[in-house]
Structure 1
Amino acid sequence: MITLSLCFSHYCQFGPSIFGWCWWPIEATHLRKDNLNRLNPLQSRALSNQRLRIAFGIDNAFTSHEVNRVKTFTAQAKSLINLSPSAWSLLSDTTHRNMRRSIIDRTGDCNGETRIQVVDLVHTLTLRMVLHVLFSMEEEAFNLPDRCFIELASAINSTWIMSKTERTPPRFENNSRLQNAILAIFPPTQDLSPQNNPLNMILPGFDTMWRIVLRMFIEIGFSTGVPHSEWRTQLAAFARTPSKAAFVQRPGLDAVSVEHLVNEALRLYPPTKRLYRAFQYYESSAVEVKATDIEEAHTAEHIWGPSVMSFDPRRWHTLENTQKQSFSPFGKKPVVCPAQSAFGPMVIGLIVGVLFMELGDDWILGSTEDRHGNLHPGIKLSNERDSYQYLYLARVDDRLAS
């Protein structure tokens, strides 16, 4: 076991190279040719994520440097997300059913309007999807009230923020709110020890997924995508019958596929904005943590062109080599998220498509603050964790009646 005192360096940017972007920190082998890392890639990733291990009480592929543990966890995750066509069909049906359940569960009279908080809706849909796929809890998740998922999401978000901003991260064993939120969904006898903590699976599936779903929904439904009704129609059609063929299909004059829409959302709003790796050099006993800025690589004008901050899925018709190399929403080798190849992008398209299909034209976007007006085409949305808490959906009939 590595027992080194960590010296967290200031956030470092590693800018463009002749290959488009410099990915040495992610590869975790070296920062420069003469500055080799004594830590192997698993050690490098695990050490840089120790604050998450402490705050969430987890022991998974992101926080462990033990080869067998990482292999076992990764193999289990790959097996669970390798969905057959019938499993995709069931997931579609379940997500539609969950969406309808949430509309019923979350609607209530508020100053004459029926409102649903957008963030709460996305949190609930994503968590129910995670429980269905990763825990085989389809019916159990459906039968639980939305408030259980909203509380778990809130507890996760507040813990994550504290783990990143406080000098000493809070310890999971002292976080009664987070533990109670987990046990409200799982049996009270659930083992919350590091290797058995449900957050081992929940965090990788939920925490990265909901933020990209939220921004893609806002971008396509209420900002750049407003004049492109065919994008919403296509997402809804994919959500009805999700398949790889439907995901890459390019209908219409724009020839924009669901894959293009998801990739453009992942480019502008990467679910992991920065990837951290730990380094220990041969001439030093200290361990430094360096960050690679994924978001900056995805929005570099010299790579993506002058319209880099605009949501434009048509840019994916033809990509230059530097753009392909700079696009890394699921990490880079040697450690890449298992959901990269199919499940991650397809389930993002599925959830967003279900949102559009089930909401139809019966709901409009509202805001409890004046900032609603900042949703303008061509202006990049905020990618901060606590953004858009003020947005809600209101029934059109209720709005007109009031």
Structure 2
Amino acid sequence: MMLLMFQNLSWAIYDSAVYIAHFLLAITCEIVPKSWVTIDTSRRRPQFMSQDPSICRQIIAGVIQHHQCQNIIPPNASRAIVNQPLKVAFGIDNAFTRSDDSEVSSFVTAARAKMNLSADGWFAVSRFARATTRNWSVKQCLLVTHSTSQLQGAMGSHINIASMAQILTLRVVLRVMFDKTDQDKICDMSILTLAQPINRAWIAQKGAQENQILRFEDDVPMQEALFDIFGTRNIMPGNNPLNIILPSFETMWRIVLRTVLEIGFVGSAEHPEWESSVVAFAMEPTKRQFELDQNPRLSSRSSSHGQNISSSPHDSMRETFSAKHLVFESLRLYVPTRRVHRAYQWSENAGSHETLSADIEGCHLRRDIWGDDAKEFNPSRWLNLTHIQKEAFMPFGCVPFECPAKPTFGPRMIGLLAGAILEAFGELSTDVGWRLVCDDKGVPEHLRSGQGLSLDRTAYGDLFLARAPGRHSMM
């Protein structure tokens, strides 16, 4: 009832004249919980964005009603309309930009089949990823190295940690999704030359008008990068490799990077066992290992009803967590897709659609749902999740638009790639390790602050690994 009253109030404001809308909006801001809906009036007509998990799920599904009227735009079309800028910037034609239900279903089915790795397939990816990162650590560089006036001298070459996450993730995507098992002839620079234009174009198309976006066919760096890897020019939308690369790579590399930083560097001093968990999974990528907390005492702490029993503060100091706990906490704190948008239209006479947004990041960071430490990395919360926390956790969207990577491929691949990096750049020997270096002294200080990592796509672009005595020490 409250939801219906709230929606009626919102849409009454929505349909009012501008001067009345502004007046009622001021009232609404006082009487409606801000966690439910915030209203952005910077556009010609209000755009609604919710942080309420229940409303977010309805927005994503396309079933929010206006004065008991249903959205006349079908669900797949509702998603495709708001993703039109992606078609312009990347020339894609996939499930995110298609309106036809059968075409969307076919695309998702094909993607799910690729992600459905056998046990041997997971071990093959593990060997590939670990060999790649080990090769970088032994050579002490990627093909792309960096030296600045402050970082020259005895340290020699430095490895850009963001570039490393991009290259490793994209190499694994090429192997799994495109069957490129032999990548000896694809150098790191070719991979990075594709990864960087993708990131640049993604940022540029956000919130831009169509005539402000560099069109895919005019994006020479991206065209050349695709040719270097796939050997094809004049790419048509239906055959564009970016149809697969965008959803599998663009969101994954950023969460891999932040998982490495959070587990391997920010929390390594107090919680070295976190790194051990993800490295162990990278070496043995099985379901059992992913869910293994490596602590027999903690594993047996469950009630006769199968529910977790809360540990005392003294016990929590000895707790170790599974790779699954750690990856899920990374997905919560550093959600791959911060907001999900849908097009809504309730009448043929409405003229044009409006955009409603589900604030997934907001759902993941609400203190009334996750506690006062909602913005802190705390894997212990996954030992005893509440119903509302389960509802609020949507890193892979929700029905009917759940990412096919949700159940297995996505979380485990994040853990595998993060573990492969941490294995290679962790305890390589007893007297030699790696440390983070950066021209901007504020970056390492921020990592130590415990305030959480930045979700900005350009963050940590000037953060490097350099070989030095000690283990994961920061400037």
The match for 1:91 among 106, 125, 129 is 125
CA contact (8 A) 1:128 1:138 kept: no
Q: Distance in 1 between matches of 2:100 and 2:121?
A: 32
Aligned to 1:265: 330
CA contact (8 A) 2:48 2:355 kept: no
CA contact (8 A) 2:273 2:320 kept: no
Please tell me whether residue 207 in structure 1 is matched to residue 239 in structure 2. Answer: no
Aligned to 2:39: none
The match for 1:243 among 283, 286, 289 is 286
Please tell me whether residue 41 in structure 1 is matched to residue 83 in structure 2. Answer: no
Q: Deviations over 1:185-220 (max 9, x none)?
A: 111x35610000000000011001001011111111
Q: How far does residue 67 in structure 1 lie from its aligned partner after superposition?
A: 1.9
Q: How far does residue 376 in structure 1 lie from its aligned partner after superposition?
A: 2.7
Matched to 1:382, the amino acid is S
Q: How far does residue 384 in structure 1 lie from its aligned partner after superposition?
A: 0.9
Q: Distance in 1 between matches of 2:269 and 2:377?
A: 12
SS in 2 for 1:363: strand
**1:391–1:109 Cα change, 3 Å:** closer
Matched to 1:80, the amino acid is K
SS in 1 for 2:355: strand
Q: How far does residue 100 in structure 1 lie from its aligned partner after superposition?
A: 2.8
Q: Deviations over 1:226-247 (max 9, x none)?
A: 3100110111111011011111
**1:308–1:135 Cα change, 3 Å:** same
Q: How far does residue 89 in structure 1 lie from its aligned partner after superposition?
A: 0.4
Bigger radius of gyration among the two: 2
Aligned residues: 390
**1:62–1:109 Cα change, 3 Å:** closer
Identity %: 37
Aligned to 1:306: 372
CA contact (8 A) 1:61 1:74 kept: yes
Q: How far does residue 34 in structure 1 lie from its aligned partner after superposition?
A: 1.8
Matched to 2:365, the amino acid is T
The match for 2:49 among 6, 9, 13 is 13
Gaps of 5+ in 1: 1-6
Q: Distance in 1 between matches of 2:170 and 2:45?
A: 34
Alpha-carbon RMSD across the aligned residues, in angstroms, is 2.1
The match for 1:371 among 414, 436, 442 is 442
Q: Distance in 1 between matches of 2:73 and 2:457?
A: 31
The match for 2:421 among 351, 355, 363 is 355
Q: Distance in 1 between matches of 2:46 and 2:260?
A: 34
CA contact (8 A) 1:9 1:289 kept: no
SS in 2 for 1:393: strand
More displaced, 65-74 or 270-279? 65-74
Q: How far does residue 143 in structure 1 lie from its aligned partner after superposition?
A: 3.1
Please tell me whether residue 385 in structure 1 is matched to residue 457 in structure 2. Answer: yes
CA contact (8 A) 1:365 1:393 kept: yes
Aligned to 2:412: 346
Matched to 1:387, the amino acid is A
Q: Distance in 2 between matches of 1:386 and 1:193?
A: 29
Aligned to 1:55: 89
Matches for 1:130-149 after TM superposition, within 5 Å: 130-140=173-183, 142-149=184-191
CA contact (8 A) 1:309 1:378 kept: no
Q: Distance in 1 between matches of 2:284 and 2:391?
A: 31
CA contact (8 A) 1:29 1:40 kept: no
Q: Distance in 1 between matches of 2:277 and 2:332?
A: 20
Gaps of 5+ in 2: 1-42, 296-317, 428-432
CA contact (8 A) 1:24 1:31 kept: no
Q: How far does residue 145 in structure 1 lie from its aligned partner after superposition?
A: 1.3
Q: Deviations over 1:19-57 (max 9, x none)?
A: 5x5422111122446242001110101111011011100
Please tell me whether residue 176 in structure 1 is matched to residue 212 in structure 2. Answer: no
SS in 1 for 2:104: helix
Q: Distance in 2 between matches of 1:11 and 1:271?
A: 22
Aligned to 1:152: 194
Q: Compute the TM-score of the two structures, normalised by the length of structure 1.
A: 0.92
Q: Distance in 1 between matches of 2:57 and 2:105?
A: 24
Q: Distance in 2 between matches of 1:146 and 1:365?
A: 21
Higher relative contact order (CA 8 A, sep 6+): 1
Q: How far does residue 398 in structure 1 lie from its aligned partner after superposition?
A: 11
